[in-house]
Amino acid sequence: MSHVITLIPGDGIGPEVTDATREVLAATGVDITWEPREAGAAAAEQHGHPCPDEVIASVQRNRIALKGPIGTPIGRGFRSVNVTLRKALDLYACLRPVKNIEGIASRFSGVDLVIVRENTEGLYSGLEHMVVPGVAESLKIVSERASTRIAEFAFRYARANNRRRVSVVHKANIMKLSDGLFLECVRKVSRRYAEVETSEVIVDACAMQLVRFPERFDVLVMDNLYGDILSELCAGLVGGLGVVPGANIGDECAVFEAVHGSAPDIAGKGVANPTALILSAALMLQYLGEREASARVESAVRKVYRETTVRTGDLGGNSSTVEFTRAVVNAL
């Protein structure tokens, strides 16, 4: 079967890691036609908008995109393209599988967990105002609809991937209404998935347990801000941002991307680690129903780390992006 996929190379190291990923995907033999679209700083200069309508239309048409990181100016300039895409495409679930890779040093072994983050509301709703000079207010929005669909997503994912447990992460002891509603929605959904165990954990206790016993966690479902913070923490458990894949998924389309940013400090030097985007592409293949190719890509990456000394600078090596990519293609 052939697939048409929107390709958003992005800023900074984005074009380098997307090139590497395309090369690996080409080696799988899966028939992919790429539809490249510019978003980010270059698009802002060329089209006057960092996320032109045509980018969104392309993803809507193809229902799937592979995306490099896109920089967001702090405190000025254009709105985050990532947030724009998530809103426009209603990509309500952020999926971050976090798993040890043998050969990458980390403090823990046996980590194999999945963070499911609600992507559309919570404290990220952008509803902020100054009440009076010197006092700012930021609104946390929690709706029954969004909480129920993210809970559905988490339990469906657990069932489809033979995961045993879903832990709901919350702070309903303090935010009794907002987090209380989120928790109640997850509880309701959980009743329809009797084969999946449900546990409840308060976010601060969860952070502590994650850095003591990460191997005890399976699927975790949580709101936007907790998910933002804890998924970064979890990336740190297995070797950092360079090796953790991700996806933003809605009912109509999905965008696959690494967790890391555009790394302006190393952009254009040919030293970026493409592992995270290659593993995101493996998730994408799985989503496309190309399960065998997906498994082959993941095991090729694992083989390179397990059996070779090819490492990019972020992991203490001196291999280039191209050398690492070649090693993965050879392993395939």
Indicate whether 52 belongs to the interface with ligand NAI (CB under 6 A): no
Tell the burial category of 48 from Cβ atoms under 10 Å away from its Cβ (0-12, 13-18, 19+): exposed
**Which residue minimizes CB distance to ligand NAI?**
261
Indicate whether 196 belongs to the interface with ligand NAI (CB under 6 A): no
Indicate whether 273 belongs to the interface with ligand NAI (CB under 6 A): yes
Which member of 112, 193, 228, 287 is catalytic?
228
Indicate whether 70 belongs to the interface with ligand NAI (CB under 6 A): yes
Catalytic site includes residue 124: yes
Instruction: Restricting to residues 297-326, name those near ligand NAI by CB under 6 A.
Output: 312, 314
Catalytic site includes residue 287: no
CB closer to ligand NAI out of 99 and 260? 260
Which member of 124, 157, 226, 305 is catalytic?
124
To ligand NAI, the closest distance from the beta carbon of 210 in angstroms equals 20
To ligand NAI, the closest distance from the beta carbon of 81 in angstroms equals 7
In angstroms and rounded to an integer, the radius of gyration of the C-alpha atoms of the chain is: 20
Indicate whether 245 belongs to the interface with ligand NAI (CB under 6 A): no
Indicate whether 260 belongs to the interface with ligand NAI (CB under 6 A): yes
Spell out, one character per residue from 202 to 241, where the chain touches ligand NAI: x when CB under 6 A holds, - when not.
---------------------------------------x
State the number of binding residues for ligand NAI (CB under 6 A): 22
To ligand NAI, the closest distance from the beta carbon of 59 in angstroms equals 15
Indicate whether 82 belongs to the interface with ligand NAI (CB under 6 A): yes
Return residues touching ligand NAI (CB under 6 A): 13, 17, 69-72, 82, 241-242, 257, 260-266, 272-273, 276, 312, 314
Residues with catalytic roles: 124, 171, 204, 228
